[in-house]
Amino acid sequence: MNAYKVLSIALAALMLVGGSFYLFERSANSKKRRELNNKVAELTGMVQETETAFSRLAKESNDLVIENDEIKALLKDRDEEAVALTEVALRWKSKYFKAKNVTQTVVPSEDGEDRIRVDFSHEEDPLRVSGFTLTNPPEAEVSIEWTRDLKLSLILTKDEDDVFRIYLDSDADVGGITFGDLKLSVDPSILGRKWYEKIGIGGAITVGEGVASNLSLMYNVVDDWSVGPTVLLYYDGNTLKKLYGVNALWYPFR
């Protein structure tokens, strides 16, 4: 075995050990960062950003639980994966209505005892309330209708540090509704590249005091590093030489 092969094997082994240690440390740091982000998300809770907008940091999870069986079956059938789960809790605001349209009538009964019926209705944006009451025996019905749509805008963001946040914006008056809670769970791994999208092939030809060409196979092991084997062919006019090694590519500004 010539010196070039020994040097290439030694370099490859060194980079493999260093890369393995780097990946282990990166995985541990990523797990720790996720735990801290989730704790911060729980402590921060829902924040009112403006008069109409609320926000909350996301909790990161690799296992998003979808409780609706029909949706799970639909995603499976379409070969799709859940990226994020959003949950908005809404509550009715306490609202007092004094009905202006009220009428009273007498309703004859089969047993001879008349019943008093009171009909009422009232409309006050964004609700319309109507109904009636009856006596002997007591009876009542109430109908509540929305007079306009309740508009909510959900905006999912991600910054350069992979911190996810959801913004909820609504009408200035959301019509008798208050927000109980806003929850967001995301799986950041789904947003990354597929394994085959991380494979790269490169080559070069150099001409000078001879001709050299090389072919490299690269794999983007993490966001800012790509590594892979390389083969160099060098022809000096008399003999063709083969060199083997390992390529590493660093993206410092990713």
CB atoms within 10 A of CB 66: 12
Residue 236 pLDDT > 90: no
Q: How many residues does the chain have?
A: 254
Q: Residue 92: its pLDDT value, please?
A: 77
pTM strictly above 0.85: no
Two tokens at 136? 């002997």
Q: For 198-233, what is each residue's pLDDT tens digit?
A: 889 988 888 888 888 988 988 888 778 888 888 888
Two tokens at 211? 């001709």
Residue 174 pLDDT > 60: no
CA distance 157 to 161: 11
Residue 131 pLDDT > 70: yes
Split at pLDDT 50, 70, 90, the class of 141 is: very high
CA distance 175 to 149: 9
Specify the amino acid at residue 171.
D
CB atoms within 10 A of CB 218: 19
The pLDDT mean for the chain works out to: 82
Q: For 52-100, what is each residue's pLDDT tens digit?
A: 888 888 888 887 888 888 988 998 898 888 888 888 888 777 778 888 8
Provide the percentage of residues in the chain whose pLDDT is more than 70: 86
Q: Which CA distances in Å does 21 have to 30, 42, 234?
A: 14, 32, 34
Nearest to 236 by CA among 217, 218, 215, 210: 210
Two tokens at 113? 């005892």
Q: For 163-173, what is each residue's pLDDT tens digit?
A: 889 998 876 55
Q: For 91-124, what is each residue's pLDDT tens digit?
A: 777 778 888 899 999 988 777 788 999 999 999 8
Q: Residue 189: its pLDDT value, please?
A: 77
Nearest to 252 by CA among 227, 230, 223: 223
